């Protein structure tokens, strides 16, 4: 996965890269961004999401199943 690195801010991924990583559509990622569930930076007409934000989104969405 090719990504852009900005010093101090981590690695930024495109919407397409995030969608591919999570195995969802780009529209799903845009929806998460617009509802504030996935933080992103807008650069011109595109959005970039940090790897850290993707990881935090996944951690917050983990559902524990099975016997306690």
The yes-or-no verdict on residue 1 having pLDDT over 80 is no
Element (H, E) at 17: helix 15-22
- Choose between 54 and 65: higher pLDDT: 54
- Taking the model in full, what pTM does it have? 0.78
Give the start-to-end residue ranges of the domains of the chain.
Answer: 4-60
| Structure tokens given for 51 | 């790897």
Interacting residues of 47 by C-beta distance below 8 A, sequence separation 6+: 14, 15, 30, 33, 40, 41
pLDDT tens by residue, 6-54: 555 579 999 999 999 999 999 999 999 999 999 999 999 999 999 999 9
Would you state the pLDDT for residue 67? Answer: 74
- Output the CA torsion 56→58→63→67 (10° steps): -90
Class of domain 4-60 as given by CATH: mainly alpha
pLDDT reported for residue 9 = 56
């Amino acid at each position: 996965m090719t990504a852009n690195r900005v010093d101090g801010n981590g690695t930024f991924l495109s919407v397409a890269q995030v969608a591919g990583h999570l195995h969802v559509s780009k529209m799903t990622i845009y929806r998460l961004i617009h509802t504030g569930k996935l933080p992103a930076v807008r650069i011109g007409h595109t959005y970039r999401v940090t790897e850290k934000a993707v990881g935090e989104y996944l951690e917050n969405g983990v559902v524990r199943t099975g016997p306690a």
